Amino acid sequence: MEGPPPPTRGFMPCSTMTPLILVLSLFLLGVQALHGSQWTYSEGTLDEEHWSSEYPTCGKKKQSPINVQRSKVQYNPNLKPLILVGYEAQNAPFTMINNGHTVQISLYHTMHMIVPDGTRYIAQQMHFHWGDASSEISGSEHTIDGTRYVAEAHLVHYNSKYHSFEEAQNAPDGLAVLAFFLKIQEYSENLYYSSFISHLNSIKYPGQSTVIEGLNIMDMMPHNPQHYYTYTGSLTTPPCTQDISWFLLADAVLISITQARNLESTLQDHSNKTLQNNYRTTQPLHNRVVESNFKILFNQHSEYPVLNGIYNKLKTLRKLEKQKKEKGQEKKEKSSKERKSKVKHN
């Protein structure tokens, strides 16, 4: 728990103490609301391996993200293309916030998506997952045949039969996520991302927000939004709510190296470190089946599978290295304590 220590009782008369406690409680609540719970990807006691201790659903069997193994994907010709309404340019400001875990853009409820079974899902927010600029580690959440893309965008929607996102989020048919990958195309800047990326500078610290004019979500998406993979999964961050319909576009959007590096290195997290590698490792598929609405052509190689395998291993290695360091530190502290107590006893 962060924030100031609780007020010391007994030093002040009740009349001043009560409002002060109230103010402090409100402040603590504010800090908590801002920070959420202290989950992280790789730091501290509530890193992704321990999410399930606080958020049991994270340990269940329909989790996201997953590796999409294309040879096992079932082509379903009955799956119609998604119908996206209101995703084009809007003459309205979009609010964009650094929530300590990602950059999140609030979407207008006039935007909605109709999925193959006819359900209408209303857009709530869009956010990104990315890797590490210094080590050039890719940071998409889903992988395709083991390939991790540079970044991944999630457009979170809620079922229109519910009145609000809050009401829908715990219902089994409440949420749907439209996801797509970002890929590097060397030096050619993607102009549809320019404004979004330059605005990151104004939300460097968690809790900061800014307003961005005239965002065209449709243009920020891949050219072909028709082909997708779909499966039932979860939110990829705590509380890892399950039974979410995922629609992962097969086509990726291209951004320049500079744009990718800016996305990966501008924001800071709650511990004043660069907000990076904000992706969860892929989860077991268990008995789930991934379907596609297009025929997969297997002469198309997935890109750099070897390189990405190395990147994934690198993340694990860095974690081990950190744990080793922490253990070393613990040992040091322990032996110095022992030394001190020896001195005392002598």
**Tokens in use for 80?**
């119609």
Nearer to Zn ion, 189 or 243 (CB): 243
Interface segment toward Zn ion; rule CB under 5 A; list 73-81, 111-119, 232-240, 253-261: 232-240
CB of 295 to Zn ion, least distance (A): 28
Name which of 137 and 240 has its Cβ closer to Zn ion.
240
- How large is the C-alpha radius of gyration of the chain? 23
38: closest CA among 30, 47, 26? 47
Binding to Zn ion (CB under 5 A) within 10-49 occurs at none
* Residue among 154 and 227 whose Cβ is closer to Zn ion: 154
Least Cβ distance, residue 233 to Zn ion (angstroms): 11
- Spacing of C-alpha 340 from chain mean position: 45
| Count of residues making up the chain | 346
The residue from 148, 154, 199, 227 that contacts Zn ion (CB under 5 A) is: 154
Closer CB to Zn ion, residue 140 or residue 268?
Answer: 140
The end-to-end CA distance of the chain, in Å, is 39
Q: Read off the DSSP letter of residue 274.
A: B
**Which residue in the shown chain puts its C-beta closest to Zn ion?**
154
Residues with active-site annotation: 101
Least separation in angstroms between CB 177 and Zn ion = 7
Phi-psi region of 102 (alpha: psi -120 to 50; beta: other; left: phi over 0): beta
Contact between residue 239 and residue 58 where contact means Cβ atoms under 8 Å apart: yes
Shortest Cβ 82–Zn ion spacing (Å): 18
SS3 state of residue 278: coil
Residues of this chain that bind Zn ion (CB under 5 A) = 154, 236
